Structure 1
Amino acid sequence: MSSVIKVNLPEQSYEIAIAPGSLDQLGEQMSGVKLGQKVLLVSNPMIFKHYGERAIASLKKAGFEVASYNLPAGERYKTLNSIQKLYDIALENRLERSSTMVALGGGVIGDMVGFAAATWLRGINVVQVPTSLLAMVDSAIGGKTGVNHPHGKNLIGAFHQPRFVLIDPEVLKTLPAREFRAGMAEVIKYGVIWDTELFDQLEASKHLEQLRYVKAELIQNILTRSCQAKADVVSKDEKEAGLRAILNYGHTIGHAVESLTEYRMFKHGEAVGIGMVAAGQIAVELGLWQAADTERQNALIKKAGLPTKLPANIEIAAIIDALQLDKKVKSGKVRFVLPTQIGVVKVTDEVPPDTISQVLASMR
């Protein structure tokens, strides 16, 4: 089982290769993209322990000159201090404009390495090798890179498309169950915003909360359909001028919940799950969505083992305030992605604050 998906862009299109066991072909695949000889592979200690030497061996076999560096694991390390460390290593290894940074890890590593590549020498190559479900279906694709500011998630960043994305489903075998569940939030998101067939397939599956319960065929289909959805949207709107905003479904309130809990209480996908529940209920309150559909969505989120309630220690007023720091705020108005039917959403800034507060209060 393998598939190749093309992200068609005006300046630099690229491919997403999805195939079991493909990590050992990383060097060979990168050779086909015609990159420079110098490579800096960046990971975290746990991921590197599992897959770092295999990736490096493959790169060296293909003739690349490889250096490596591990950043600490965790969202709270997604800061400019970590980027400074990557700049130091890039300087130490004399990375040039033709050189490549390879991100081997989950969404945090992918975002940071992408941002470092975007800004080192005003932009060098980056290749994404995602190792978490969330990174595979979402953050490794589309060129969004960045780090967190103490007052908000991903407030510092740049668009910088990868030259190539390699997805090996077999690396999910070492992914902790909680991380797998967090990734399922983004998969469910694609079903709600874009792909009714994917939503129906997830609904028909008996288990979604642990990889061992999900058949390899469904995993391949989840990866292929999710990546295709992301590629379709990004190809139509590379830099979030319009359509791409729909990919933020569940993220508006999700990001606020993450930042208010200092990125320590929730995984990104868990916060997105809470955000999708909130967005769905807001859509019902505004008469945009049927209550039966929000119940279907929420049942799927629960089946994936994701939270659907707000913790009691987060003040609703604090969430409302945090929304004003969201990147999608325009002219002081918070923009929400709200579903109108399964597979279709709209972007609106006409959500009364009282409605937001009322929905959040109901989610305690």
Structure 2
Amino acid sequence: MDDSIRVAVARGDRRRGAVAQALALIAEDVRAAVGRCGAAVVAPTLDELGRGWASTDRDALSATVDALAAAGADAIDVVASKADGRPSARSCFESLEYVAETHGRPVAYHDLDAEPDAWTSREVGGRPARVSKLFAESGCRVSLAVARTHGTFRLGLALPGLASIVHPDDRWPEDDALARRVPARLASACSALETWRGRIARGWLKVRSIGGGMRPTGAERRRLDRAGFAVERLAALAAVAAPRISVVDGFGGMHGQGPRLGTRLRLGTVIAGTDPVAVDAVAAAIMGFDPLDVAYLRRAQAAGLGVADLAGITIVGEPWSQVRRRCRRHASDRLLRLVAAGPADLEGAAAPHFARRRRRSRRSSRV
């Protein structure tokens, strides 16, 4: 085990205290990440429907700002972008009380959509993409993520949270078209509807997996292709703008039909570290997932971006197994597992037993 790869797990009754404790457990690593640059750029998670509980909480931001300042950062920039006509990043900064919470501290806020010179071009997965210039060029990049399930990556943690620093027109494709059309005022009702729809979809995929395999339909294969493309793009983005510090907040997370129409999740746990892959891997394990079965974590580890194997990570603070909780998966989760399996395994996926019986019955009828 490499003791240099450390991830802190803190549990408590109050979010601010848990975030402060997690970052204090890795204080030397945070100090090294801030280094001599004396500045940090923070990318929070802003819920697309403007819900405070699904966004980075002001207490999490405040505790992180304090830890960065204690590590030597004398200037901290908070950057984010919004899309699809949702509330602007600036309005979210105000409504979530970030500005009031950090008043008097060296923190500046940047709505990337409102700043024409906010973007710089980077090659991401063989294609140009506009990313936040401040974030990409910073020596200390910080991702403040909310623990969520995800309909493309299975989990929306610190690395998928980098979507907020990418120009809306250059982000990876999303499959949940319904969620993009949901008005904010109807989010609760639509979440309840999606929960029931998700249960039916999960049940159907489970039945189709009986016998140890599932042959995707044409539409499902296209969705898997899009998810595989998104995983490659995410790994490429992490290669050029990986966080130096990652914090995953499980106090106000989301499970089920995340990252938009899921329901509230309370883990009471904060995970933090300076290896972004390791942080997401530990958070995945706490949420009941095998990290190496999550495609973007496996891909990031293969690319040398970090460690996803729990055996290679030193946990400080609470043992992850003592705070583990099996969260409700996204409806497509069983299908999305095939992205991590790889094309060869996908091509060899066995047809479900009922499909084989159907084909045999058709041959019998023709005879």
Same fold (TM over 0.5): no
TM-score where L is the length of structure 1: 0.37
TM-score where L is the length of structure 2: 0.37
Select the structure with the greater relative contact order (CA < 8 A; seq sep ≥ 6): 2
| Structure with the greater alpha carbon radius of gyration | 2
Structure with the larger helix share: 1
